[in-house]
Amino acid sequence: MKKYACVFPGQGSQKVGMGAELLAIPEVMALFDQASDYLGRDMSALCTEGPVEALTLTENAQPAIFLVSAALWTQVRHLGVVPAMVAGHSLGEITAYYAAGVLSFAEALALIRVRGAAMGSACPEGVAGMAAVMGLSVEAISEVLQPYAAAPVVIANYNCPGQIVVSGRKPALQAACDALKAAGGKVIPLPVSGAFHSPMMASAGDVLSTHMQKMVCREAAFPIVLNRTATAVTSAQVLQENLPLQVVSSVRWIETVNCLAANADVIVEIGPGKVLQGLVKKVQSEIPVVGVSDLAQLQEVFGATNGSPIHN
């Protein structure tokens, strides 16, 4: 039997129309209704109709991506699939917690709301930013950033070889980006207003720490490979302590993918878009990588697992 590693996408994977066919499934519609009631806006209309400007807003994009990923996961679960491991990129790590039974749907949704608001308010507008760096090694980028470390300017995402995201305080970030260009790198500023996954998220980590004191994480049903450590964890205590630390720590996606590939036969992205599939292929070219973003792909990837039909 194949050993699957399932990965869940983060912000940036949203697109208008995502999850539309899933809404015909009563169980899925119930999740969207629950989210709409909690968030105070029609999440099914937002996902399926947009407009794209509204869907792109962090406070909408994050719960929307989680919703579609969670809806797809309910159908994967009905097919009897038990992954060898799971992981999620940034926001997607919370989806991984939900998939592994560490958090309930309502708890994950509440956490996403608190986390998004806390990260959004951690940096005043125009104070910080992020940029993708391509064409330079991790070692070269780290060397260029050393003079700006105290600003802080740090590596936020180790996405794949040749694509590293840096994060930090302006104008030091701009000076660092200029230095990275001079070193031969291609630098693309990202349309975000904060220095995510950096020490500048310390206040967000404090908010999450307080929030987590009101919650109780459960043992994971299967290992979750954490962004900040790239290690596989099932311990409820470790998982609870991880969430406030995750927002101030780098996303070590290259190491995460290597861990997943060493323990699975296939890596499956579950959620909207193909971002993680592209990153995984650049990290591990040998392991098969597939995506499940609709029912047809769900049937194609998992349908023969135990002969169960897709629930609708």
The span from the CA of 259 to the CA of 263, in Å, is 7
- Do 165 and 262 have their domain in common? no
Q: What is the pLDDT of residue 193?
A: 82
Q: What pLDDT was estimated at residue 183?
A: 98
Q: Which helix (H) or strand (E) holds 269?
A: strand 266-270
Same domain, 71 and 214: yes
Does residue 310 sit within a domain?
Answer: no
What is the extent of the structural domain holding 145? Answer: 128-189
- Residue 249 is classified by DSSP as S
132 and 274 share one domain: no
User: In the chain, how many domains are there?
Assistant: 2
User: Can you give the CATH number for the domain in which 40 is found?
Assistant: 3.40.366.10
My answer on whether 9 and 97 are in the same domain is yes
Q: How confident is the model at residue 58 (pLDDT cuts 50, 70, 90)?
A: confident
Q: Is 276 inside any structural domain?
A: yes
Question: Does residue 152 fall inside a structural domain?
Answer: yes
Task: Order the strands of the 289-292 sheet from edge to edge.
Answer: 232-233, 224-225, 85-88, 4-8, 266-270, 289-292
Domain membership of residue 307 (yes or no) is no
Residues 36 and 67 in one domain: yes
The predicted model gives 132-158 an average pLDDT of 97
The catalytically annotated residue of 44, 69, 90, 249 is: 90
Q: Per-residue pLDDT tens for 266-295?
A: 999 999 999 999 999 999 999 999 999 999
Domain-terminating residue out of 189, 216, 239: 189
Q: Provide the pLDDT confidence category of residue 192 given band limits of 50, 70 and 90.
A: confident
- 311 part of the active site: no
Instruction: Give phi and psi for 281, each to the nearest 5.
Output: -60, -30
pTM of the model: 0.95
In a domain, 311, yes or no: no
For 10-169, where are the E strands, in sequence order?
A: 85-88, 128-134, 153-160, 163-169
At 305, is the pLDDT very low, low, confident or very high (cuts 50, 70, 90)? very low
CA 211 to chain centre: 20
Reply yes or no on whether 203 is catalytic.
no
Q: Of 197, 198, 250, 293, which one is the catalytic site residue?
A: 197
Residue recorded with tokens 């039974």: 101
Q: Distance between CA atoms of 48 and 64, rounded to whole angstroms?
A: 10
